[in-house]
Amino acid sequence: MRGEHCDTVLYNGKIVTVDEHFSIAEAVAIGDGKFLEVGGNDEVHALAHRHTKEIDLEGKTVVPGFIDTHPHMIHKAICPDERFSARSTETIVSLVGLSSIEAIKERIAEKAEKTPQSKWIVTSPIGEPPYYFNVPGTLKESRWPSRWDLDEVSPHNPVYIAPPSSRAPNTTILNSYGLKLIGVTKDTPSEQQDVRVVKDPETGEPTGQFQGMQRIYNFSPLLKKLNQLLPQATLDEMVNELRAAIKERNAAGVTAVYEAHDVFSKHLLPCKELWSRDELTMRICFAYEVDVTKSLSEIESWIKGLVHATGSGFGDDWLKICGINVPIDAPIRFGLGLMKEPYLDPYGKPTTGVQIVPTETLKHIALLAARNNLRLNSCISGNKAADVTLEVFGEVNREIPIKDRRWAIQHVQFASQENFDKCKELGVCVTVCTNFEWGEGAEVYVGRLGRDLAAKAMPLRPWLDAGVCISQGTDWGPYQPMFTIWQSLKRVYGLTGESLAGPAQKITREEALRMYTINGARVLFWEDKLGTIEAGKLADLVVLDNDILTCPLDEIKDTKALMTMVGGEVVYEGS
């Protein structure tokens, strides 16, 4: 009977199942969107019939589809400063690859010629994504463009050069028209609640440069005003950008994502639109962000209304909503990570970070989540934030058991043995991002926290040894799973190529692959459907051009997906 439904057979390959025993098979049969049989060539071929498509893998390696549990992919579609910064679109001018202010001016001038007067010209950040190393040092002039530079090519249109989310102090640049619209003059104070207005040291005039313009957890009225003035993406634009972002990740082997940070109902719009058109080629699971600017009574009323996000989530195999997220602190690179020990902020001043949500408020929200059967995620960066969060989780657990609810902590750049043990005790899942080390290690971890703390950054081995479910995310960094798997094994800093991670931090290739597949599926409450290549599960897989289990380590980062399947359908096929 199963043979009648056999649509595709992949044979003569190395099928890395990532099942309980990490079994290796030769072939896999697919039908009705699921894996029908996994095993030897002969037994799998027995299910084929004259309409079955047969693919000779010629020894190629096949792994389960990759699951990114912290991608910020959806923000590429909706945020004006993040919409495909690496490419030009109808609305965003790409500055990627430009190495001088003159080249930047030329690119903006081209756009100004085609843009009606008074309409905004919005550009990508300056430099090379995703981490924008050494800007503005990469420019010929070794300085940022000024308002006056931009005025020369766009006197009749406001210009906004977006800040990179991944590089502090998150520099934004406006021309004079833009400054006028937001009301910034020579008399405007330089310090604007987390934002700095950079001024000419001789004249006192604003240069057009603003620092500290990170979008996440920035409550500056100046930034709020700017965001209200900037053009907002239309639904069609959001849908087109999201479709492109998904295809880009499909080509890298990503088949499912967990968007659980800074996600609000508006972010569902393009996803729901693609879902309603039956155009999703990636499985998406959401958790709503708690709006911490609201009162506790407003938050309580909102939480009680989230009946569609309870338990393991509501939706189908393509799109579902599961739980909520509350931030405790903010990224260390912004100087906002809550740490026990002082460190330097982006301006060189000592800080211990901030606690965005007071402990009592966090406990109130956590109890509400437990009482309403909502999985709670918490975004934390610093070691003190980890202690505060897990202490609250423990207090809630004594009142309402949470061990089987898979509450989660995200980012977790620094953690202690007590944190490892507490997460195991409470059944807390952890989403990590070793790409932080690549993008921030030399500048932030070593330069601002010191080598002793840097050596403890982004622990993996201790989480695994404690028996905690940890999964992999990319978080504004390189979205390619092959790069991220390589980085989780290599543990080097992008600027210097050095690593402070000693033997005690090492993990195996099998563990790195599990983090990106079955562990991610557990975080999404989809482990019965995704994460391994086993009969009965949804047929999400990736065919690779190299054997990442045996090849030289440095070849992993350059390994490419030859084919990606989601639900048994080919969503990407390379040459």
Higher pLDDT residue, 501 or 80?
501
For 410-462, write each residue's pLDDT tens digit.
989 999 999 999 999 999 999 999 999 888 888 888 889 998 888 888 899 99
Spatial separation of the C-alpha atoms in residues 566 and 365, rounded to whole Å: 36
Q: Which residues of 128-139 are buried (b: 16+ CB within 10 A; e: fewer)?
A: bbbbbbebbeeb
Which pLDDT does position 90 carry in this prediction?
A: 63
Most confident of 143-152, 162-171, 264-273: 143-152
Going by C-beta distance under 8 Å and a sequence separation of 6 or more, which residues neighbour residue 236? Answer: none
pLDDT higher than threshold 50 for residue 143: yes
Which pLDDT does position 79 carry in this prediction?
A: 62
Which pLDDT does position 237 carry in this prediction?
A: 85
Confidence category of residue 77, pLDDT binned at 50, 70, 90: low
pLDDT higher than threshold 90 for residue 329: yes
Of 73-87, 238-252, 549-563, the one with minimum mean pLDDT is 73-87
What's the alpha-carbon Rg for the chain, to the nearest Å?
A: 24
Tell me the one-letter amino acid at 87: R
Q: DSSP of 439-475, one letter per residue?
A: HHIIIIIIIII-HHHHTTSS--HHHHHTT--EEE--T
* CATH architecture of structural domain 85-229: Roll (3.10)
Cβ contact 475:514 at 8 Å = no
Arithmetic mean of pLDDT, 181-194: 92
For the chain, what is the mean pLDDT? 92
Sheet hosting strand 27-31, strand order edge to edge: 34-39, 27-31, 8-11, 53-56
Confidence category of residue 256, pLDDT binned at 50, 70, 90: very high
Arithmetic mean of pLDDT, 204-233: 90
- CA nearest to 278, candidates 569, 572, 573: 569
Confidence category of residue 504, pLDDT binned at 50, 70, 90: confident
Which pLDDT does position 86 carry in this prediction?
A: 42
Which pLDDT does position 288 carry in this prediction?
A: 96
Kindly give the pairing relationship between strand 283-289 and strand 314-315.
Answer: unpaired
Spatial separation of the C-alpha atoms in residues 95 and 111, rounded to whole Å: 12
Confidence category of residue 168, pLDDT binned at 50, 70, 90: confident
For 259-315, write each residue's pLDDT tens digit.
999 888 888 999 999 999 999 999 999 999 999 999 999 999 999 999 999 999 999
Superfamily holding 235-566: Metal-dependent hydrolases (3.20.20.140)
Which pLDDT does position 132 carry in this prediction?
A: 87
Q: Which residues face 324 on adjacent strands? A: 288, 376
Confidence category of residue 499, pLDDT binned at 50, 70, 90: confident
pLDDT higher than threshold 90 for residue 83: no
For 336-384, write each residue's pLDDT tens digit.
999 999 999 999 999 999 999 999 999 999 999 999 999 999 999 999 9
Spatial separation of the C-alpha atoms in residues 411 and 418, rounded to whole Å: 17
For 51-74, write each residue's pLDDT tens digit.
999 999 999 999 999 999 999 898
Confidence category of residue 85, pLDDT binned at 50, 70, 90: very low
- The CATH code of the domain at 2-59 is 2.30.40.10
For 226-251, write each residue's pLDDT tens digit.
989 998 888 888 898 899 999 999 99
For 377-412, write each residue's pLDDT tens digit.
999 999 999 999 999 999 999 999 999 999 999 989
Which pLDDT does position 87 carry in this prediction?
A: 43
Going by C-beta distance under 8 Å and a sequence separation of 6 or more, which residues neighbour residue 173? Answer: 144, 145, 146, 147, 150, 159, 160, 161, 208, 209, 210
Which pLDDT does position 520 carry in this prediction?
A: 98
pLDDT higher than threshold 70 for residue 167: yes
Cβ contact 256:285 at 8 Å = yes
Q: Which residues face 332 on adjacent strands? A: none
Confidence category of residue 1, pLDDT binned at 50, 70, 90: very low
Number of CB atoms found within 10 A of residue 324's CB: 25
Q: DSSP of 165-226, one letter per residue?
A: TTSTT--EEE-HHHHHHHT--TTS-SB-SS-EEEE-TTT--EEEEEE---STT---HHHHHH
For 458-473, write each residue's pLDDT tens digit.
899 999 999 999 999 9
Which pLDDT does position 454 carry in this prediction?
A: 87
Spatial separation of the C-alpha atoms in residues 403 and 392, rounded to whole Å: 14
Domain boundaries, the chain: 2-59, 85-229, 235-566
Phi and psi angles of residue 55, each rounded to the nearest 5 degrees, phi first:
-120, 115
Quote the percentage of the chain above a pLDDT of 90.
77
Spatial separation of the C-alpha atoms in residues 427 and 405, rounded to whole Å: 8
Of 39-43, 130-134, 157-161, the one with minimum mean pLDDT is 130-134
Which pLDDT does position 451 carry in this prediction?
A: 87
Quote the percentage of the chain above a pLDDT of 70.
97
| DSSP label at residue 26 | S
